[in-house]
């Protein structure tokens, strides 16, 4: 882990780190390394599921973000998929988890995501399930679809899932989006 962390620290971006610390980054420590750089560094590690699980339990942004690339999709099962939803789950981590790991786990895990997370999971779990299923099927998922954005204006009025405003509306829009996703992916 020390070698990986050292390589990630060399890519540290102070300005990004500072802006993430002012916002709601959701990590105890972060170096502001770009996601493509994290993926490239993690890709050089190779597949090591136990190491990925260890990294994922750390409270360091770059280590948690690297874990889905290092993890072995064949080692994720319907019985252990929930362990990937431990700790704080910033939106970027949910997306990385869904796109880099869960979408490659195969049909039994995806069926579990659909059955368990889409129907009764938390908002983060439903979002991850939607992203994983869409990636697996090769379907684009647009942020405005699940973020309760205002689409009835001439100009797109984006909103963010990270705010706590109008949670009832966001939950209702997410539920509708996920039900539609479930119907088109099964």
Q: What is the pLDDT of residues 4-19, one digit of tens each?
A: 878 888 887 766 666 5
Hey, which residues does 29 pair with through a beta bridge? Answer: 60
| Ranges 7-11, 59-63, 111-115, 181-185: which has the least confidence | 181-185
Rounded to an integer, what distance in angstroms lies between the CA atom of residue 59 and that of residue 48?
19
Which one, of 90, 84, 79, 80, lies nearest residue 123 by Cα?
Answer: 90
Consecutive H or E run containing 73: none
Q: What is the pLDDT of residues 72-107, one digit of tens each?
A: 999 999 999 989 987 778 888 988 999 999 999 998
Q: Are 60 and 28 in contact (CB under 8 A)?
A: yes
Hey, which residues does 150 pair with through a beta bridge? Answer: 157
Question: Quick one: pLDDT at residue 32?
Answer: 85
Beta carbons within 10 angstroms of residue 138's beta carbon: 7
Which one, of 87, 35, 89, lies nearest residue 65 by Cα?
Answer: 35
Q: With bands split at pLDDT 50, 70 and 90, how would you rate the model's confidence at 21?
A: low
Hey, which residues does 60 pair with through a beta bridge? Answer: 29
Q: With bands split at pLDDT 50, 70 and 90, how would you rate the model's confidence at 134?
A: confident
The residue written with tokens 């319907």 in the block is 78
Q: Are 84 and 101 in contact (CB under 8 A)?
A: yes
């Amino acid at each position: 882990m020390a070698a990986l962390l050292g390589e990630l620290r060399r890519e540290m971006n102070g300005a990004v780190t500072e802006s993430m610390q002012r916002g709601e980054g959701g990590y105890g420590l972060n170096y502001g390394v770009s996601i493509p750089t994290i993926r490239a560094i993690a890709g050089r590690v190779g597949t090591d599921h136990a190491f990925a699980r260890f990294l994922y339990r750390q409270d360091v942004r770059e280590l948690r973000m690297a874990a889905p690339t290092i993890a072995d999709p064949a080692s994720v099962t319907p019985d252990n998929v929930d362990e990937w939803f431990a700790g704080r789950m910033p939106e970027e981590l949910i997306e990385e988890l869904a796109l880099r790991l869960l979408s490659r786990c195969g049909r039994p895990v995806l069926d579990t995501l659909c059955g368990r997370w889409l129907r009764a999971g938390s908002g983060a779990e439903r979002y991850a399930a939607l992203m994983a299923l869409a990636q697996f099927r090769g379907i684009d998922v647009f942020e405005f679809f699940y973020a309760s954005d205002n689409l009835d204006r001439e100009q797109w009025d984006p909103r963010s899932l990270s705010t706590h405003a109008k949670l009832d509306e966001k939950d209702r829009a997410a539920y509708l989006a996920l039900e539609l996703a479930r119907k088109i992916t099964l």
